[in-house]
Structure 1
Amino acid sequence: MANRKRPVSNLLGLAVLGLLLERPMHPYEMGATLRERNKDTSFKLRTGSLYDVVEALDQAGWITEQTTERDGRRPERTVYSLTELGQSEFVQWLDELVRAPVKEYPSFLAAVSYLGALGPERAARALEERAALLDTEVRGLTEAQAEAIAQQVPRLFVIEADYAAAMAHAERTWCTRTAQEIRKGTLAWPTPTV
């Protein structure tokens, strides 16, 4: 049943369900674990959003309160666990996301659609600068992968970094190639009408 309406559609919910597959946790621990694992590069992670998602997952019956803990003078923390329904929904949601491409609207794609407005020189410089920043991003992702391998983290657990590096590399290649076309004059540029 592809693309059906879910009671929770925020992808942060997917991250929460994935964490709760491992063990019960309270939201503060969820956030800390996601940051520790650099999942905040894959999911938009804000504390308020995390608590909202946890509440929505609980209301949908995908997770349930297990216990409430207090550590010293710290505030009480509710520990949640995954329900059978939640595990089933997680697997189905994940399967759909992997199988079917979804039309996304990245801001770079929107900007590229109006690249001509920058003029050839400014467009080439902007693309070259972006390519340099993407080089830095690819190096960082590659270093993070190497560190994970050194720590004997199974590749499957950090495979999103591999995907992100491949996508950044492809984008860098496109930016460099397009900037070169602009500089060589092989990318036709309209004559300004203003």
Structure 2
Amino acid sequence: MAKRRKVNNMLGLAVLATVYAKPMHPYEMASVLRARGKDRDMKIKWGSLYTVVRNLEKHGFLAVAESVRDGAHPERTIYRITDAGRQEYADWVRELIAVPEREQPKFEAALSVWGVIHPDEVMVLLRQRLALLEEEVAGQRETLAQHCREVPRLFLVESEYDLAIREAEVAWIRSLLGELTSGSFPDLEAWRAWHETGQVPSDVADLMERGSTTD
């Protein structure tokens, strides 16, 4: 089970990773994070960057290295990672690698209530999603192949993982579409009848009723 952290925002992890190599001011942190594409690896709310940096400092994970003034620009505070920050950073990464956490993708949420849409329309929507995913996967494969020639694999495994997840989703949607298209998907006819007659099948109604009593 994941433990409760003093700074639990994933942007905090990204900041610690960024200043691990050298001290930076928040504007430079944001520039480096964008350049590294970290907003694709984790959910980042850029507007909370300064708040996260201050919280990391408050809990002893960052410390002020110096304040500098560059010409007419406002004074900038440069932060360095502390020993406690290095320990927190490494411990956080260990936990994220070792302890699986339940995530809630929007696609999964949609699938949990997809019965409200006619199965014929669902098939159209799934084909649309599949086409977009296949295009995305092809682009990711090309980009990853190019990066493999220029960047050590140590810094590419997150891209490999994301590609593997996308490829698995493509394979699963193709299989699901195959069942829907062939008619082998269980209860497909009852699902169609629900939309064509407006009558909710009794077994579905029972499940909906049971679900409503457990909310």
- TM-score interval (norm. to shorter): over 0.9
Q: Which residue of 2 aligns with 1:95?
A: 94
Q: State the distance in 2 between where 1:142 and 1:75 align.
A: 43
CA deviation string 1:74-112 (max 9, x = no partner): 222211111000110111111011001101111111111
- Give CA-to-partner distance per residue, 1:114-140, whole Å, 9 cap, x none: 222212111111111111111122123
SS state of the match for residue 68, structure 1?
strand
Which residue of 2 is the match for residue 140 of structure 1?
139
SS, match of residue 66 in structure 1: strand
Tell me how far apart the structure 1 counterparts of residues 179 and 29 of structure 2 sit (CA, whole Å). 47
In structure 2, the residue matched to 1:125 is 124
Whole-Å separation in 1 of the counterparts to 2:128 and 2:20: 41
Cα distance in 2 between the residues matched to 1:64 and 1:81 = 5
Q: Identity percentage over the alignment?
A: 40
Once residues 72 and 46 of structure 2 are traced to their aligned partners in structure 1, the CA distance between those partners, rounded to angstroms, is 21
Contact 2:62 2:80 in 1 (8 A): yes
- TM-score normalized by the length of structure 1: 0.93
Q: Give secondary structure in 2 for the equivalent of 1:22.
A: coil
Whole-Å separation in 2 of the counterparts to 1:147 and 1:50: 31
Contact 2:10 2:44 in 1 (8 A): no
8 Å Cα contact 2:25-2:77 kept in structure 1: yes
Asked if the contact 2:64/2:80 (under 8 Å) is kept, the reply is yes
Tell which has more relative contact order, 1 or 2 (C-alpha 8 A, sep 6+): 1
How many Å separate the matches in 1 of 2:79 and 2:180?
A: 55
Check the 8 A contact 1:131/1:173 in 2, yes or no.
Answer: no
Equivalent pair of 1:120/1:183 in contact (CA under 8 Å): no
| SS, match of residue 71 in structure 1 | coil
**Higher alpha-carbon deviation: 93-102 or 126-135:** 126-135
| Match in the other structure for 2:164 | 166
Return the offset for 1:173.
1.1
Pair 155,183 (structure 1): closer, same or farther in 2 beyond 3 Å = same
8 A contact 2:11–2:45 mirrored in 1: no
What is the CA–CA distance in structure 2 between the aligned matches of 1:128 and 1:73, rounded to whole Å?
A: 55
Residue in 2 that maps onto 1:67: 66
Aligned-residue CA RMSD in angstroms?
1.5
Shift of 1:30: 1.0
Partner residue in 2 for 1:187: 185
Between the aligned partners of 2:29 and 2:68, the Cα distance in structure 1 is 15
Q: Which whole-Å CA distance do the structure 2 matches of 1:38 and 1:144 have between them? A: 13
* Alignment correspondent of 1:56: 55
Give the direction of change, closer, same or farther, for the CA distance of 1:72–1:46 in structure 2 (3 Å limit): farther
- Residue of structure 1 in register with 2:206 after alignment: none
Size of the aligned set, in residue pairs, is 192
Give deviations 1:129-188, integer Å, cap 9, x for gaps: 1111111221232233233223x2111112111111110111111112111211111112
Partner of 1:34 in structure 2? 33
